[in-house]
Amino acid sequence: MIDKSPPTQTGEGDSLGVRRLHYSFAHVVVRDLFFENPAAFLAMFRAQKADAFLRHVWDEISRHVDEDDRFACDGLSCSFRGGEGGMHAGVARMPEATHSAEAILVAGVVRPRRRRFVFFRSPPQARYFTLERGFNLDDGSRQAVLCEWRARNHVNYGEVSGESEDECLDAIRGVLAGTRRARGATVRRRSRP
């Protein structure tokens, strides 16, 4: 079972002043739901049931944050993209990201097994990406940054030219093809057992 409570005071989501509900939803709970069963996650998106389910998850998380930190999930919408660039993706547009490190979009991506040689196939890949709100340190302008969340770390793939689903998925295809390289990574320490 997935822990839907927000991170603790010393955990993920507090250091940048982000809204705990927004951060917990995108960076912890939806990510964990995806990795728990990537095929079922994508099937939910394909069947157009993800909107209702993720709204329910949002409401459940809301029950675990202070009343002052709650807000509606306005703008949350989901879509399924299949087969483009050899990947299947469940994409959720988040409520407006107003703080640095909040997600604009999240994408659970599965790349099916691929034949490499006559008898060998590459294993399927399940990867979780966020397109996050960032700010240019030189001039303070807003930017969108592609990140990947793995079991023990968070990888930054740099700025994406826009905030659309297509631009995000193009950047993810670049990561999968090896043409978009990591700019940095951070190792996460879990505050919960």
Task: Give the pLDDT band of residue 188 (cuts 50, 70, 90).
Answer: low
Report pLDDT for 14.
42
Report pLDDT for 13.
42
d(CA 35, CA 2): 11
Segment 102-110 shows an average pLDDT of 96
d(CA 120, CA 113): 10
Return the structure tokens found at 130.
Answer: 């966020």
Region of poorest pLDDT, from 58-62, 112-116, 149-153: 112-116
Say which residue, 5 or 186, is predicted with more confidence: 186
Helix/strand/coil for 65 = coil
Residue from 162, 91, 153 nearest 133 by CA: 162
* pTM score: 0.84
What average pLDDT does the chain have?
85
What pairing do the DSSP bridges indicate for beta strands 184-187 and 88-93?
unpaired
Segment 3-23 shows an average pLDDT of 58
Side-chain half-sphere of 156: how many Cα atoms within 13 Å? 13
* Bridge partners, 107 (sequence order): 91, 129
Q: How far apart are the first and last CA of the chain?
A: 14
Segment 68-88 shows an average pLDDT of 89
Task: Give the helix/strand (H/E) hosting 78.
Answer: strand 77-82
Report pLDDT for 154.
87
